[in-house]
Structure 1
């Protein structure tokens, strides 16, 4: 009888322990979710350093500035009172965006034409940047996407030239532009200067059917973390912004929803998160979605991405 009682108590101890572990896990997940909601609502109002940018310098530099997220960053920073240097490959678009910004926000603009799939553009960019009086902000936004989710081994768009171009365009500019701008910032006596690197949530984990793109975005995330950790000068903040889907030309202006904002809505929120998070998803809908998808084990994540590929293929045909 004593043995049976002891075994019963032992089993109860294990059941109790399992319940405690489950409760602690659920509590941890709830706290994480509440933290996300807090930081993207009250937190950004309390801790945002966006207003410091106006006092940090006269100029903001934006790469990939003629469309989508890059264009809206240029507009928002101009609205904050900064002069804008626009860098992109299409001169006609650059002139149009520069004229729009000057007319709408009454700030000075300069343009630099540069094809970031080439490696010979940086000397000219550095010469243009050296002419600026002071720099408040660099937004490394330029990048290439992929036309569709597909298998790396068999995708018809993946050619030697495509691989070279996407690797050059998505990795080299952030390294080179930061190398050009950071020493100039360090010589300034102001505080609140920013280097904002536009990455992607796809850089955080294995991303089937986006293998090459996600690998280049992992480079952005890792370089930003490393430079931030070695940059002991706390007057300069290095932030990585990792969006999910935003309704822009790059993804065919997909339908807007709680989880798919337009570029204007996304950038306004992301800029407000400057100084709040070093690595940010920029938008509360993206942060919540990433929180839940991050709970999926890799074995399930693979099938989720396979489902997404099938869904995109089906809707593209329609």
Structure 2
């Protein structure tokens, strides 16, 4: 019965719930500007487009991880942000993925430079950008301001063959939760968005399906979930899939991930 109630809750919150509780429309009243990192393509680009369609001016921050790994650049970013009239929303989207599911010990792409870059790229920009933007938001008198951090469902549990990537996304989840709990100003909402597979350049534009939306479909749904859930999978297909996989005990989950690795290896060879 408990599992059935949980499933019905997911269906409700992603259909009726988002229409009743979404605070997306409040963003245009919260400030004049939205800041989006990693907006070159995919999810970040669509966030910028959707927020612009909602009436916000957009400030785009480079996706180039080499630039964002240089801490000197954040001084220039802060100076630019200080010139903005008011901020409605920060979307921390910049990040790196991995080319394939593989064993951490033997994957040929896992080099010293790769480890350094993915750890820094998936953790440093979100920490720095939040530290820059949050104090400015706290000085504003408006309500409904948002910090939206793009994490991953892989940050919620042990994720074999994505060990390094999932660890960096666990950082995103934990930082978001902790800052949200210490932020007693309820005018600012900190949301973590945790997608599964979305058809983007990062994952080779995998074939779309009920569980694999394109970036536009995913972001439109995820933005509608702003104000509905503090931690959201953003898309009903992802929430339902995560619900069923979360029922698997770890002993079976490991074999499920081994199957997924084999499937992706075969898919990439075709």
Q: Decide: shared fold, TM above 0.5.
A: yes
Runs of 4+ in 1 over 3 A off after TM superposition: 89-95
| Contact 1:69/1:263 (8 A) holds in 2 | yes
User: Looking at CA atoms only, which structure, 1 or 2, has the larger radius of gyration?
Assistant: 1
User: Is the Cα contact below 8 Å between 2:68 and 2:121 reproduced in 1?
Assistant: no
Unaligned segments of structure 2, at least 5 residues? none
* Separation of aligned partners in 2, 1:205 and 1:193: 30
Whether the aligned pair in 1 keeps the contact of 2:39 and 2:63 (CA below 8 Å) is no
| Structure 1 pair 174–168 and aligned structure 2 pair: CA distance change class (3 A) | same
| CA distance, structure 2, for counterparts of residue 297 and residue 90 of structure 1 | 39
Q: How far 1:187 sits from its partner (Å)?
A: 0.1
| Aligned partners of 1:65 and 1:94 also within 8 Å | no
Q: Any conservation in 2 of the 1:64–1:87 contact (CA below 8 Å)? A: yes
Shift of 1:119: 2.8
Partner of residue 83, structure 1: 57
Task: Work out whether residues 34 and 57 of structure 2, in 8 Å CA contact, stay in contact via their aligned partners in 1.
Answer: yes
Q: Is contact 2:68–2:125 with CA below 8 Å preserved after alignment?
A: no
Deviations 1:121-178 (A, max 9, x none): 2111111111111000000000000000000011111111101100110001111100
TM (normalized to structure 1)?
Answer: 0.83
Distance, in Å, in 2 between the alignment partners of 1:83 and 1:91 is 24
Cα distance in 1, alignment partners of residues 66 and 221 from structure 2: 29
Cα distance between partner residues in 1 of 2:137 and 2:85: 11
SS at match of 2:20: helix
The answer (yes or no) to whether the contact 2:161–2:261 under 8 Å persists in 1 is yes
User: Bigger shift: 291-300 or 121-130?
Assistant: 121-130
Which of residues 250, 253, 256 in structure 2 aligns to 1:301? 253
Residue 194 of structure 1 aligns to a residue in which SS?
A: strand
**Relative contact order (alpha carbons < 8 A, sep ≥ 6): 1 or 2 greater?**
2
Q: Partners of 2:269 and 2:228 in 1: how far apart?
A: 42
- Is contact 2:14-2:235 (8 Å) kept? yes
CA distance in 2, matches of 1:165, 1:222: 20
Distance 1:220 1:92, change over 3 A: closer
The CA deviation string for residues 98-120 of structure 1, in whole angstroms up to 9 with x for no partner, is xxxxxxxxxxxxxxxxxxxx333
Q: Secondary structure at the match of 1:66?
A: coil
- Please state how far the C-alpha of 1:92 moved relative to its aligned partner: 16
Kindly indicate whether residue 85 of structure 2 is the aligned counterpart of residue 145 of structure 1: no
- What is the Cα deviation at residue 299 of structure 1? 0.4
Structure 2 Cα separation of the partners of residues 94 and 178 of structure 1: 14
Q: CA deviation at 1:46?
A: 0.1
Say if 2:65 and 2:121, in contact at 8 Å, map to a contact too: no
The answer to whether the aligner puts 1:43 opposite 2:17 as a matched pair is: yes
Cα pair 1:86 1:94 within 8 Å, conserved: no
Q: What SS does the corresponding residue of 1:254 show, helix, strand or coil?
A: coil
Structure 1 spans left out of the alignment, 5+ residues = 1-26, 96-117
Distance in 2, Cα, partners of 1:214 & 1:47:
30
Instruction: Calculate the aligned-residue CA RMSD, in Å.
Output: 2.2
Aligned length: 270
Question: TM-score normalized by structure 2?
Answer: 0.97
**Is 1:215 aligned to residue 189 of structure 2?**
no
- Tell me the SS of whatever aligns to 1:60: strand
C-alpha distance 78-93 of structure 1, shift in aligned 2 (>3 A): farther
**C-alpha distance after superposition, 1:284-315 (max 9, x if no partner):** 00000000000000000000000110111111
